[in-house]
Amino acid sequence: MIKIEQMRQKHIDAVHAVETASFSIPWPRSSFESELKNGVAIYFVAIDDKTGDVVGYAGMWSVVTEGHITNIAVKPERRREGVGAALLRECLKTAREKDMIGVTLEVRVGNSAATRLYANHGFKVEGIRKNYYYDTKEDAFIMWKTMGAPEQI
């Protein structure tokens, strides 16, 4: 079992380890520190109930009336257990609480697991960012979810 809680300073090392294991171009540790300190983003961590370890995290910027999910990442050995979905649901719950009109994100065109996760939670592909990922020149889907009734979250 996992519990979802707001990320705090004490989680940054573990979050950065998940980030590094998950992305070919990981964000530097300083980015997480800065965003937490400046309140630029809302971050959540997934904590294993038994071990107390951070097994995943999610970040979302609040931009006027919209949410922008920056990252959702889960430790490789804990994927396909519903951790990413739980983190995504927490982001959407927060978007609803903040009266956001919608939530957007970018995802690699080739990342079918993530695309499927987002689609299962009501996101739709609304466009493509050509050559979005500079390491591979891979395109990104722009996905958008208009916030509906609470039961749609």
66 tagged catalytic: no
Q: Where in the chain are the domains?
A: 2-152
* CATH code assigned to 2-152: 3.40.630.30
35 tagged catalytic: no
Cβ neighbors of 13 (< 8 A, separation 6 or more) are: 29
Alpha-helix runs per DSSP H in the chain:
12-22, 29-38, 83-97, 112-120
Q: Which member of 35, 81, 106, 133 is catalytic?
A: 106
Q: How far apart are CA 12 and CA 1, in angstroms?
A: 21
The DSSP output letter for 82 is S
Q: How far apart are CA 124 and CA 54, in angstroms?
A: 29
Q: CA-CA distances (angstroms) from residue 65 to 68, 134, 146?
A: 10, 29, 11
pLDDT averaged over consecutive 10-residue blocks of the chain (153 residues)?
95 97 92 89 96 97 93 95 97 94 96 95 96 91 84 48
Q: Which member of 35, 57, 90, 118 is catalytic?
A: 118
The per-residue pLDDT for 148 is 66
Burial of 52 (0-12, 13-18, 19+ CB in 10 A): exposed
